[in-house]
Every structure is written in structure tokens, then in C-alpha cells.
Structure 1
């Protein structure tokens, strides 16, 4: 049996990812609450408004609950699922600074984009924070924001994709595949945002003029995040090998695909080209002898 293992690559620089030291959860999942607090220690809030799309019930894994419920920020909390929106309203009852909105946000400006939803609220055009977490089309929702420009953006990315892979799912809210961190960074650059922190599946971006305040000289992906393992390669003879983690979020136990699943060539066709050439030469020599 061949030997196959993947060496984890961790090129993070402590001085680049120091914001992760502030991680703590009130209702967030991977320490986002603490990082948000630290960010606004470095760049104080301008208006104390936040937006969360994919607010769910306003509590579970929320990146804005602490701001709205504990720190008194105004929050536009957008949720499309009717049952979860009912829970959101209940959890925000009596809070004048909480502004629940039931809406399924799309990508077409002038119709149903985030800009259009926010236009129906009192949210300023440069809210301090926007959190986008819809388990799929997050990339396109941020891309669609033009009239509104949050000072800080927290957005979910697909954590299974290696640092050097740009992946963006189809532009479809019904698809739940996500986008890679590299794709989010490219989008951020085009929108003039800079990466300042990364958790397991959330990236934190700040408006470009705010970035110098963080003193981060290298905010490249490898300096901010350890690369994930997962490789596919092939031998000289065409045999495909794979080393992957179990599939996440599908609820089926260990779903690491067996090597046989990836074979493009049947065993009899997996031959090293030099061996084939040698066989052809031997065959030709045999014919000459006849």
C-alpha cells in the first residue's frame, strides 16, 4: 500500500492575525463577538448601526445580538423564513433599537437587493457593521451592495476550500455551496475593502481608509489563516489519489470518498507511458524477428 498523508501548512503570522486573540462568544459561533468588539476599539463606531442578513431568530449564532441587546446599537435584522422571523420578532420584542425585517434578499438592484431592503429603514448609508450569513450566495449579496457601504463587513465563506482556490457558487439563492476566502478577498479588493481577521468560517473586512489603523503589514490569506488539507493528485500511471476530510454539514457520518470513486481510467489502462513505449518496442522487435 502506498504511503499517503498531508502535512498541514500553517504560514500564519502572529502580527497579522492578532485580532483573533480577542475571540469570545456571547451568541456568535467562533469568537466573532469578541473580534467585533476589538475592531471597534481600534476604529470607534460612527453611528452604532448594524445590519444582519440571515438573522435567523436573532439569537442563535448571531453576530449582532450582543451589539443590539447588550450595547444598545440599532440593528436591522433581516430574515426570510417566516417561522424564524416570528421567533426573531419575539426575541426583539420591546427593543426600540431592533428593526426586524422579513425579506428574501436577491441580487438585482432596484428590485430586491440589500440596498433596496435597507432603503425602507432608517439605516444610514454607511452603517458601522454588516453581517452576511445565508449559507450560500453570500458573495453575490455583498457584491450587490452599492448604495450602502458598511464600514466593517463580516461575511461567511466556505472553510473547506484551500487558501489558493478561488471558488464562487452559481448566482442562485437556492444553491448552498458558498464561496472561498480567496474569492471573498478578491471581491473585497474590487470594493476597496481590506481583510483584517478570519475565524473558522467568517472573514472580517474594513473599508480601505480604516485599514491603516490596524497596523497589519501583511494581510495575505496565508498570513491570516492556516491552509486546509485536502488534495487530489495522480501517479505516473494515471491512478488518482485523494486525501480529504469527511464532508461537512451533510449529517451522514464519515463521508470521506474512497479512492476508487475518483478513478477516471480502469486498472488495465493505468500504464506508465515508458512501459507502454517499451511494450510497443518489444512488440515491434518481435515482428522483425519473424
Structure 2
């Protein structure tokens, strides 16, 4: 009898939690739709001949599922750019369980097709149990991404959907991001979002040395040693035909747009690169026991100052 009652209580609790989650999700999406309308008006000011000042992309930020306002910036760029030549599709890797991501709002609001990749099978299994997985054309794949396998992974998905490109690419793998974007040739998205390491500063074009099995917290216990500097990624973007259009206000992600798509757009407001590094105040560093130690300001730089960096300026 007790087991039966416990089973009934668990069922009721699960139902109530699910119902509450559903209602909160609907409210979040409703708010997101209203903010998207605001971005539509903001985008109309950015057309050439509008007599308006340049607009910083941070002014369009909002988060429904993203961590740092990326939902709003992506939404704004989609309002302002002519993507008629691009399929309504995206690729995002480093998504964890996809509850917090850069493309979930895009998937639900605009019904894009998508490929999401994560190195944890547990995360991929979670995504496949999420109702978003059957309500939309979302493919979740477990892979540890390297510069050598990324093209084959994406090409296989493209072929399965009859696609030859995507509109948006989001890269956040906490390590070899630069090398993966550099190696990527099977797609040429309209928009690229990529995480940068603000601690590497604005003057150096540097990234971590490539290691196929790089792990952020194995490389250094603080987790602060990863990725590439802002200058390195901007230089790479130029080489691949992209224009840097700004970063989120938290100093986490850079946004790039294909150069030819900006011909009839009022230039975005770009600040000195040092500004994009100074705005990063996150204190996510950890001690040797894996606990947050809230190190801030120049102490963060001191922790990783002796670790090797690949200087891309001397390479060229």
C-alpha cells in the first residue's frame, strides 16, 4: 500500500513539475516574441539612408534560452540581413543538454532545422527525451570534435537533409574553437558566433596550442586557459570572408557576418578591441579541488601567465 501511495505521489509531483515547466516555457516564448518585435523596429533603423547612428549589437540583447543575451542578437541579425539564399538551418556544438543554448529560441521561434553536437552521451540522451526533439527537425549527435572530423560530421548531416549550407554556426567547445573554425570548409554560414578568451587581451593574436583531446580543466585547474584572443578570431574571420560586427555585453561571444551581406546595412558600432576584453568580469575560475574560487581582475591573468600560447602574428 505504501509503495502504491509513493508511486501515486511521484506521478503527481512529476505531472505538476512538467505542467509548471510548460507554462514557464510558454511565458518565456511569449516574452521572446515581444522582444523580437522590438528588434524588428531596431533593425529598420540600421538600413542605409535612415540617418541613424550606428547601432551596437548589444542593444538588441535578450535571453530566452541563451546565457548572455545571444538570443536577442541572433534575432536582430536575422531581422536585418537578407538570408534568402541560405537554408533555414543551423549547426551548434558544445550544447551540453541544450536547455541553455544559442539556437533553441531560433529553433522554436522560426522553426529552423538544426544539428547540435556534444561530447557527452548523457547530454545527447537528455536532448532526445526533450519534446523539442520530436516537435522540430533537430538532430543531436555525440562526438568529441576535432579539426580533422568536423567536416565529415557536418557533411553527413547536410546530406541527410538535402542541404548544402546553413544560415548560422555557433562554436563553443572551450578549447580548440579557433582550429575547428579554421578547418571548417563544408559550410559557409551567414552568421558565425564563437567564444573568445578575453583574458588573452586585445593586442595579441594568440590561441592555445592545438591538442586533439584538449580539456579545459585538465589543461589548467582554473579553467581559464582555453580558446583564442579576440584579435586572432577577427583575423581568421577576415581570412574566411567575414566581418566582425560585435560581441555580447558579457565579453563571451563574438559575432561575424559574411561580408557581402552587409552591403546595404548601416555599419554596426564597433568599439576598440580593449573594450570587449575589459567587459568580461566572469569569475568562473576554480581551485585545485574544482571549487569556484571567485578570482577576479588581473589575478585571473596571473593564474595562466606562464602557460604556452601559439602566436599567430609570428606564424605569418
State the TM-score, normalized to the length of structure 2. Answer: 0.65
The answer to whether the 8 A contact 2:114-2:138 is kept is: yes
Per the TM alignment, residue 118 of structure 1 is displaced from its structure 2 partner at its CA by: 1.2
Compared with structure 1, are the counterparts of its residues 152 and 229 closer, same or farther at alpha carbon in structure 2 (3 Å cutoff)? closer
After the TM superposition, which residues 38-117 of structure 1 pair with which residues of structure 2 at under 5 Å, given as runs?
38-45=76-83, 46-60=86-100, 62-91=101-130, 92-108=132-148, 112-113=149-150, 115-117=151-153
CA contact (8 A) 2:89 2:167 kept: yes
Evaluate the alpha carbon distance shift between residue 106 and residue 26 of structure 1 in structure 2; reply closer, same or farther with a 3 A threshold.
same
| Alignment partner, residue 193 of structure 1 | 242
> Deviation per CA, 1:77-134, whole angstroms, max 9, x where unpaired?
11121111111212243234111122222112xxx12x21111112633210000011
Moved more, 92-101 or 204-213: 92-101
Taking structure 1 as reference, are residues 171 and 96 closer, same or farther at Cα in structure 2, changes over 3 Å only?
same
- The counterpart of 1:125, out of the listed 164, 171, 179, is 164
Q: Choose which of 184, 191, 215 in structure 1 pairs with 2:233.
A: 184
Q: CA, structure 1 residues 155+246, in 2 after alignment: closer, same or farther (shift >3 Å)?
A: closer
Instruction: Say whether the 8 Å CA contact 1:74–1:97 is kept in structure 2.
Output: yes
1:253 to 275, 282, 294: 294
Report which of the two structures shows the higher radius of gyration computed on alpha carbons.
1
Provide the residue aligned with 1:19 in structure 2. 57
4+ residue segments displaced more than 6 Å? none
Shift of 1:212: 2.5
Segments of structure 1 that go 5 or more residues without pairing to the other structure are: 1-13, 231-244, 262-290
Residue in 2 that maps onto 1:33 = 71
1:16–1:224 Cα contact (<8 Å) kept:
no
The aligned counterpart of 2:22 is none
| Structure 2 CA distance for partners of 1:164 and 1:59, relative to 1, 3 Å | same
- CA distance in 1 between counterparts of 2:259 and 2:64 reads 28
Q: Distance in 2 between matches of 1:31 and 1:24?
A: 4
Distance 1:161 1:228, change over 3 A: farther
How many equivalent pairs are there? Answer: 227
The structure where helix makes up a greater share of residues is: 2
State the shift of 1:163 in Å: 1.7
- Deviation (angstroms), 1:229: 8.6
- Structure 2: state its 5+ residue gaps: 1-51, 217-225, 287-291, 304-316
Given that residues 23 and 32 in structure 1 are in contact (C-alpha distance below 8 angstroms), is that contact kept between their aligned partners in structure 2?
A: yes
TM-fit CA distance, 1:170: 1.3
C-alpha displacement of 1:207: 1.0
Contact 1:161/1:228 (8 A) holds in 2: no
For residues 128 and 224 of structure 1, the distance between their equivalents in structure 2, rounded to whole angstroms, comes to 29
Matches within 5 A, 1:207-222: 207-216=258-267, 219=270, 222=272
1:152 to 161, 184, 191: 191
1:40-78 per-residue CA deviation (whole Å, 9 max, x = no partner) reads 111143321011011211122x00000112321111111
Shift of 1:247: 6.2
Distance 1:161 1:247, change over 3 A: farther
Q: For the structure 1 residues 249 and 124, does the alpha-carbon distance in structure 2 shift closer, same or farther, using more than 3 Å as the test?
A: farther
What's the counterpart of residue 204 of structure 2?
165
